[in-house]
Amino acid sequence: MTTCYNVPNLMPFELAKSTLLSNIKKITETESILIQNADNRILAKVITSPLNVPAFNNSAMDGYAIRDDALSDKNVTSPPFTQFKLVGTSLAGTPFKGELNNGECIRIMTGAVVPQSANSVVMQENVDANSDVLITLLHPAKLHSNIRIAGEDILQGHTLFNAGHKLNAIDIGLLSSLGLTTVNVYRKLKVAVFSTGDELKMPGETLQQGDIYESNSQVLVAMLQRLNVDVISLGIIEDDRKEIADAFFKADELADVVITSGGVSVGDADYTKDILNDIGDIGFWKVAIKPGKPFAFGTLPNSVFFGLPGNPVSAVVTFHQLAVPALRYMSGGNQIPSIKLNAVTTHSIKKKAGRMDFQRGIMAVNPKGDLQVTPLSAQGSGILSSISRANCYIILAQDNQGHQAGETVSIELFDSILS
């Protein structure tokens, strides 16, 4: 572990993120699971196609597969073969057995095998088929029209997905189209979560003077579920040396990653700091971001630790911006770049130089069709409702000193973790 996190000044956001990423390791254990259960799991091995998809040339239309040898030269039919002799039928799952001679055709349905000897499929709307033995083309046919070529979707032997790819519903369809029943994925990351604070009560409990209902661990657990990790929720831990130490030992034993909220700012950090320094190698960082300056990161005997600030918006922003990329990496997955866009701010934005701001905003398309963003008026780090109403961050660089209404700012759309 590097020790660059004990810098006296604020650590720039990008440095914090890259330091985190260079001090964690990817999971190594993998498992084979049914493809039906593979949504949102991360591939541990490359998938190479064992076959061509489609496996054979097949018809894209209901109509007639024709053979006109002149087509290959002229590309378009012309007399004498405006009429074709009907010699059979090819249905999806029941191919025509045989080949066509020049001037012959078969009735063919969508998905049915196109005989090797056929060189075009004519859709039935373009054919006069009143006779049982002859069809007449109403328009010239084109070479290779309406034929789906073997391997045009996926070629046998080609790489479909690399390791690190997160599977989605479409991907599962592709795996199924290759005839695969199981897939090799990284095991799920185990993440333990607890909140510290004497003032915290669970919803349903009675509040005493000065108490508040706990929300951070609920938010974190829900966001972790979006990441598809196994969550171990250890609830609320009092600000008590022994309780906190026990919670850390238990969490470290059960999980690959331990995430806490509260107790990392200067005021009440002392227990946590002492305990963590005893049992692990932890750095207390001051990251140059707003919200979310206090943040702790390091290693425990068996796990990696992220200490988030207690203020609810700070906890969300530090988790989302710093912990999520780390968790994705540890889970074996590729980084998913956030979507950054330019938008015109509808209101002025206040900002002091010194920290990078992740202000919360509502992005919309204005009547002219341009992107605009409305910064939420409540930007306090304790005001969770502000992030609930937002759909994007307004990203303001460390040295930025605010904006007038009408200026262009950079926004980052909330991803699937936050929306």
User: Under the rule (CB under 6 A), what is the footprint of ligand AMP?
Assistant: 195, 197, 199-200, 212, 214-217, 261-263, 265, 267-268, 309-312
Q: Which residue, 307 or 333, is less far from ligand AMP as judged by CB?
A: 307
Closest to 276 in 3D by CA, of 291, 255, 293, 296: 296
Q: Which does 57 bind (CB under 5 to 8 A by kind): Mg ion, ligand AMP, none?
A: none
Q: Which does 309 bind (CB under 5 to 8 A by kind): Mg ion, ligand AMP, none?
A: ligand AMP
d(CA 148, CA 161): 23
Length of the chain: 419
Number of residue whose CB is nearest ligand AMP:
310
Nearest to 371 by CA among 415, 331, 408, 318: 408
Using the minimum distance from each CB to ligand AMP, give the nearer residue, 80 or 203: 203
Q: Residue 416 Cβ, how far from Mg ion at the closest point, in Å?
A: 30
Q: Which is nearer to ligand AMP, 50 or 235 (CB)?
A: 235
Nearer Cβ to Mg ion (177/218): 218
Q: CB-wise, 58 or 381, nearer to ligand AMP?
A: 381
230 binds Mg ion (CB under 5 A): no
CB of 40 to Mg ion, least distance (A): 33
Closest approach of Cβ 276 to Mg ion, in Å?
15
Closest to ligand AMP by CB, 255 or 316: 316
Cβ–Cβ < 8 Å for 305, 282:
yes
Residue 65's DSSP bridge partners are: 106, 121
* Closer by beta carbon to ligand AMP, 68 or else 214: 214
Q: How far is the CB of 316 from ligand AMP (least distance, A)?
A: 11
Chain residues 178-217 in contact with Mg ion, contact rule CB under 5 A: 197
Q: Does 268 bind Mg ion (CB under 5 A)?
A: yes
Q: What is the nearest approach in angstroms of ligand AMP to the Cβ of residue 174?
A: 41
Place of tokens 């979560």: 193
Three-state SS for the chain is CCCHHHCCCCECHHHHHHHHHHCCCCCCCEEEEEHHHCCCCEECCCEECCCCECCCCEECCCEEEECCCCHHHHCECCCCCCEEEEEEEEECCECCCCCCCCCEEEEECCCCECCCCCCEEEEHHHEECCCCCEEEECCCCECCCCEECCCCCECCCCEEECCCCECCHHHHHHHHHCCCCEEEEECCCEEEEEEECCCEECCCCCCCCCCEECCHHHHHHHHHHHCCCEEEEEEEECCCHHHHHHHHHHHHHHCCEEEEECCCCCCCCHHHHHHHHHHCEEEEEEECEECCCEEEEEECCCCEEEEECCCHHHHHHHHHHHHHHHHHHHCCCCCCCCCEEEEEECCCECCCCCCEEEEEEEEEECCCCCEEEEECCCCCCCCHHHHHHCCEEEEECCCCCCECCCCEEEEEECCCCCC
Instruction: Select the binding partner of residue 379 from Mg ion, ligand AMP, none (C-beta < 5 to 8 A, by kind).
Output: none
* CB of 211 vs ligand AMP, minimal distance in Å: 9
Interaction partner, residue 312 (Mg ion, ligand AMP, none; CB < 5-8 Å by kind): ligand AMP
Q: Is 312 in the site for Mg ion (CB under 5 A)?
A: no
Of 58 and 195, which has the nearer Cβ to ligand AMP?
195
Interface residue with Mg ion among 95, 262, 280, 307 (CB under 5 A) is 262
Residue 264 CB, shortest distance to Mg ion, in Å, is 9
List the single partner that 261 binds among ligand AMP, Mg ion, none, CB under 5 to 8 Å by kind: ligand AMP
Q: At closest approach, how far in Å is the CB of 194 from ligand AMP? A: 9
Considering only residues 126-165, where is the footprint of Mg ion by CB under 5 A?
none
Which C-beta is closer to Mg ion: that of 265 or that of 408? 265
CB of 416 to ligand AMP, least distance (A): 23
Residue numbers of the site for Mg ion (CB under 5 A)?
A: 197, 262-263, 268, 310
